[in-house]
Amino acid sequence: MSPKEPGKTLYPLTPSQGLTIMNRRWCIHRNVINIPTSIIIEAALDLDLLEKAVRTAVGRWDSFAIRIVKQAKSWQQYFDQPDLISLTRADFRGRSQSDMETFFQREGRRVLPLTNSPMAKIWVFTDPDGNSGVFSVMNHLIMDSWAISNFYADVLAVYQALAHDDPLPKEPVPYRNVLLKELDYLSSERYAADKAYWHQELTESEPLFTSLKGSQELADHRRKRRSPYVRSCRNFYLRSRGAHVVKVVSPEDIARCKEFLVEQRFPSLQLMFSLALRTYLAKVNDRSPDVTFGGTLARRGTLEEKRTGGSRVHHFDFRTVLPESLTFMEALETMLEKQNQHYRHMDFPSAEAMDMTLEAFGQKPGITYSGVLMTFQTLAVTLEGGLRFKTMWYCNGATALAAYLTVMDDDGSGGLRCYWEHSLTRMPASTIETAHDFMVRVIRAGIAQPTITLGELMDLPLTEAETHRPAVAPVAPSHALTGG
């Protein structure tokens, strides 16, 4: 029982929550688990009614009832009444867009209380153009991006119902029900089968670390370790501050991608972005055929999981060993088969999988084989009544990883918005720009010529500027060097 709340049932943290609390424990900047976001409606709404809609929606999502408490050195959780740390108004009329963004960034960096407390703050605001919006800072322990997107949609659906005196929309699924099933899984036969699968995948042979910055990062790590053959590298940082580079893939590019997927009968855009990222990593890491990057899954497969709150994200290392002779189409098929295999076992705890790998190859915590993590979550927020809107996910100012790409819907424009979170000290923004632009050109080239090989894709210039440089005549090889 909770020392401050006798009579409340305590539950263990889920594996997703356990990974979040681990990041908070080890990172110096504890705001690393904040998720600051906003949604702006392109209209002037009744702010009193909007505030009422927020309070009503909060009461419908039992994620806002989660409270965290420490018992005998172990973190536990219980459910109280759904509530917020605060619900505040902000008015940015007469001020600049930059002023508003600065406010959101500052509030997103503030550490939220943890023990026996609500874990979210919400503002109802007016932007410089007179539009109405909702800004929130939520603890990742209670919500992930999927849940937040659905919460915003619920707030606006409740607003519309209140404004027109209509019945409230269908309630979300209680998270407690999903939580209990997730905890039951940990003692199930399916958990044991998933563990066996990942043990075979992760320990059969050692992967090779591949960084967005190229092979020099591993070379430097090998020199520090005084071991020329080590295949892993550090990619978990305790003191790293973060920032976002936000890039949009155009509606025209995404339309061509979708046409290609339909013609070739591939299931999702995620596969194309994964291959594009993998191609960039191979190119800048000495054209390595062995490339590993991190992937995440929201684990929202059932209707129950789709319509609930909570944090359900797991991640895994996606290792690919592909020869350069493979075509774009063949590479997509190979990666799709492996991705589908992984997804069938994604309920397995990410932290256990990481420990499994480290133990197999005698590595210490913080050492990894993936230099970048990618989340592909293109859930489109839809609002009733034809309301136009725009959303934004802000950097909380901290990061435990060198680079983390999140691909999201661009608010119905037909394009996709890429949030590249990067460490200010470990990953230059210029590297992010180069990686993103190269990935887009890989996708374009693959669609235009599906039989293009991975080797030919790696031959593409790293930047658009290089495409227009005059060719340089090759230098004849020296006989002294070649032995000829």
pLDDT in tens, 443-473: 999 999 999 999 999 999 998 766 544 433 3
Per-residue pLDDT, 239: 80
Which pLDDT value is given to residue 6? 59
460, 454 in Cβ contact below 8 A? no
pLDDT of residue 27: 86
- What mean pLDDT do residues 254-276 have? 95
Q: Is the pTM of this model over 0.85?
A: yes
297-326: per-residue pLDDT in tens?
Answer: 999 999 999 999 999 999 999 999 999 999
CATH of domain 197-461: 3.30.559.30
pLDDT of residue 25: 86
Q: Where are the domains of the chain?
A: 11-180, 197-461
- pLDDT attached to residue 484: 28
Question: Would you say how long the chain is, in residues?
Answer: 484
Q: Same CATH topology for 11-180 and 197-461?
A: yes
Task: Measure the N-to-C terminal CA separation of the chain; round to a whole number of Å.
Answer: 79
Q: Indicate left, alpha or beta for 179 from its phi (over 0: left) and psi (-120 to 50: alpha).
A: alpha
CA quadruple 372, 375, 378, 382: dihedral sign: negative
pLDDT, averaged across the chain: 92
Question: What is the rounded radius of gyration, in angstroms, for the C-alpha atoms of the chain?
Answer: 24
State residue 70's pLDDT score. Answer: 93
Q: Which of 280, 309, 320, 255 is nearest to 420 (CA)?
A: 280
Topology of domain 11-180, CATH: Chloramphenicol Acetyltransferase (3.30.559)
In the predicted model, what is the mean pLDDT of residues 419-435? 96
Give the span between the Cα atoms of 415 and 323, in whole angstroms.
Answer: 31
On the question of pLDDT at 277 being above 80, the answer is yes
Q: What is the pLDDT of residue 234?
A: 86
pLDDT level of residue 61 (50, 70, 90 thresholds): very high
Residue 381's pLDDT band, with cuts at 50, 70 and 90, is confident
Q: Whose CA is closest to 295, among 375, 383, 399, 351? A: 375
36 pLDDT higher than 80? yes
Q: What distance lies between CA 180 and its chain's CA centroid?
A: 24
User: pLDDT at residue 162 above 90?
Assistant: yes
Rounded CA separation 145/378 (Å): 10
Average pLDDT over residues 368-383: 89
User: What's the whole-number mean pLDDT along residues 230-258?
Assistant: 92
Residue 100 has pLDDT above 50, yes or no: yes
Instruction: Name the residue among 148, 118, 146, 147 with its Cα closest to residue 134.
Output: 148
pLDDT tens-place string over residues 168-202: 999 999 999 999 999 999 999 999 999 999 999 99
Q: Compute the average pLDDT of residues 197-212.
A: 96
Amino acid (one-letter) located at 468? H
Res 465: pLDDT: 66
Alpha-carbon span 449 to 442, nearest angstrom: 10
